[in-house]
Amino acid sequence: MTTVLQISDTHLVPEGRFVSGQLDPALAFQRLVVRIEGMREQLGPIDAILHTGDLSDDGSAESYSNLKEILAPLELPVFAVPGNHDSRENMRAAFAPQGYLPSSGKLRWQKSFEAFDLIGLDTLVEGVGGGLLDEDDLSFLDTRLVEAGNKPILLAMHHPPFACGIPFMDKIGLDGIEGLAHLLQGCSNEIRVVCGHIHNTMITTVGGKVALSGPSPCSAFSYDTSPDAFEGFLVREDGFLLHRWDGCFSSVRIDSRPDSLRLPF
């Protein structure tokens, strides 16, 4: 069995700074890591951490250093894709020692585990909130899928390849969904698509494959589909997702808070 732990949208900033003048995402992230560390026996063996973007809120080199420092106690390899708040070059520099990122261009990558291949796509368009999968991205993915043969695929990106229904978030959604859906539709591999960006757990399909988004440790967006939905985030700590392959994919959301009162069955 292979297990990947997905964290998303940590939005870290340099120490002493705050998001929107009041939110300290590092504290929430630290609490989540402590929670994960305390659950290691309960969760079982974990092969890697996958971060699905917006590691940083400001793209600063210090924010990436903070992230690696906070994750260090887990002693797990970390694989990440950039989000719309990230800096491609600062992120590349921060994770260069891990050796999985290309030395130039988009931060697209592939990592093989025993049970499945993990593929990361770069949807970042620097300077704007929305994302893009262009022809080069789809060509990269097509090549990786061919190379995988019949192996299952966990496919990661930041922007969700589906509309979430929250108007102001869909305005900064992903362009190129149709091309991705067409590519996935024609692939017979077992594929699970995972993403971030919308700070909520949503589950749907794209190209006939299950697609789901991960929560943020520090904030959330209210699920409000009305045209005048509040354009801002809620200060709310949430958990993470576990993705396992044991003959098939399974995905589990783990809350950020300890278990409630336990009663015998």
At 87-123, the pLDDT tens digits run 999 999 999 999 999 999 999 999 999 999 999 999 9
Per-chain mean pLDDT for the chain:
94
The Cα 29–Cα 210 span in angstroms is 27
- pLDDT classification of 234: cutoffs 50, 70, 90: confident
pLDDT for 15: 81
Q: Is the pLDDT of residue 260 over 90?
A: no
Is 153 inside a domain boundary? yes
pLDDT digits (tens, 9 = 90+) for 23-81: 789 999 999 999 999 999 999 999 999 999 999 999 999 999 999 999 999 999 999 99
Q: Give the mean pLDDT of 155-159.
A: 98
pLDDT for 23: 79
Number of domains comprising the chain:
1
Q: Give the mean pLDDT of 200-212.
A: 97
Q: Would you state the structure tokens that stand for residue 198, as one six-digit string?
A: 């919308």
Angle at 78 between CA 191 and CA 68, to 5 degrees: 150
The Cα 142–Cα 139 span in angstroms is 5
The CATH number covering residue 14 comes to: 3.60.21.10
Q: Give the mean pLDDT of 119-136.
A: 97
Is 63 inside a domain boundary? yes
**Cβ atoms of residues 120 and 81 within 8 Å:** yes
pLDDT for 19: 79
Largest CA distance in the chain: 56
Is 10 inside a domain boundary? yes
- pLDDT classification of 258: cutoffs 50, 70, 90: confident
Percent above pLDDT 90 for the chain: 86
The Cα 114–Cα 99 span in angstroms is 19
Is 265 inside a domain boundary? no
Range of the domain at 174: 2-254
Q: Give the mean pLDDT of 132-136.
A: 97
Is 24 inside a domain boundary? yes
Residues 6+ apart with CB under 8 A from 69: none
- pLDDT classification of 261: cutoffs 50, 70, 90: low
Is 181 inside a domain boundary? yes
The total number of residues shown for the chain amounts to 265
Judged by DSSP in three states, 187 sits in coil
Q: Is the pLDDT of residue 179 over 80?
A: yes
